[in-house]
Amino acid sequence: MKRIIFFVILMFIATGMALAQTGEKKKRPRPNEYGRVVINNYSKNAQMAPVVFDHWFHRSQFTCRVCHVDLAFAMKAGATGIKAEDNAKGYYCGTCHNGKKIFENRKVFAACSKDFALKDLQRCERCHSMGKEIKKEHDFSEFSSRMPKERFGNGINWEKAENMRLIKPVDFLDGISIRRPGLKIQKDFDLDPKVEGMPKIVFSHKKHTVWNGCEVCHPEIFAGIKKGTTKYGMVDIMQGKYCGVCHGFVAFPLIDCQRCHTEPVE
């Protein structure tokens, strides 16, 4: 009974902080839209629709580290400043989307090209799809129906899907990635919540290193590598800092309190 009360209190606090930040309760995105990023740095000036990027498909194929370390995508939407000419030269999206790379026995379509003709418009709309009825090559409903279920976010338990080998995220791109010797993974450790009576937080390095390695989190998100060095709280996380860089945008959302606050208080 006490544990239920703790989680009710935690949900109340999380909801209150969300309201305090925005003035209104945010609409929860649909499962297929969770993790969606709209990129509009230059599209409007080029008289094109903004780019719509769905994380769910790419995270089913690649680890976070491949894109956010090896390909140098920023962790915040719009912060990378991707240009069509960058893609055409083989950077960012153009690393894979170049019309030449073969993945799962299929040629990956070219994101951008130096030469453009009217016939290329349909290809451009595969990415520049904001506000348009574009038929997706990969169907979320069909994909998610085969995955283990989760309550929030995409409605997919990605960790369990990876453990069951239903997805096998690629962590190395030939010609791009560098082979690194594996580091010793730290054991799980407890983090004491700042509100007395709340269940303790259990953080697992093992679970995070499967997707992130060490480089995604350190040193840009967490400067210190020793427990307790970096000071932060739920307000910071709700503002998209520290754990909130991923959780709430792509990884399971912050309303799923029991995924972190797992150890009952004695």
Decide if pLDDT at 237 tops 70. Answer: yes
For tokens 């912060």, what's the residue? 79
Average pLDDT of the chain to the nearest whole number: 88
pTM: 0.84
Digit-coded pLDDT (tens) for 20-36: 455 566 788 999 999 99
Average pLDDT of span 96-124:
87
Position 140 scores a pLDDT of: 97
Q: Which two tokens stand for residue 263?
A: 């150890």
Q: Residue 84: which of 36, 42, 131, 126 has the closest Cα? A: 42
Average pLDDT of span 14-25:
54
Lowest-confidence region among 9-18, 50-59, 232-241, 249-258 = 9-18
DSSP state letters, the chain = -HHHHHHHHHHHHHHHHHHHHHSSPPPPPPTTTTT-EEE-SSTTTTT-PPEEE-HHHHHHHB-HHIIIIIS---SSTT-S---HHHHHTT-GGGGT-SS--EETTEEPPPS--SS--GGGHHHHTTTS-TTS----SS-HHHHHTTSPB-SSTTSB-HHHHHHTTS---B---TTT----PPPPPPPPEEE--SSTTSPEEEE-HHHHHHHHTTTTTTTTT----STTSS---HHHHHTT-GGGGTBTTTBSPTT-GGGTEEE---
What's the CATH number for 37-136? 3.90.10.10
Digit-coded pLDDT (tens) for 168-211: 999 999 999 998 887 888 889 888 888 888 899 999 999 999 99
Q: Note the CATH architecture for domain 2-26+182-263.
A: Alpha-Beta Complex (3.90)
Position 10 scores a pLDDT of: 52
Digit-coded pLDDT (tens) for 125-153: 999 999 999 888 899 999 999 999 999 99
Q: Identify any residues that bridge with 191 across adjacent strands, giving them in sequence order.
A: 201
Position 250 scores a pLDDT of: 95
Decide if pLDDT at 80 tops 80. Answer: yes
The fraction of the chain above a pLDDT of 70, given in percent, is: 90
Position 16 scores a pLDDT of: 52
Q: Parse the chain into domains and list their residue ranges.
A: 2-26+182-263, 37-136
Q: Burial letters for 27-43: b for 16+ Cβ neighbours within 10 Å, e otherwise?
A: eeeebbebbbbebbeeb
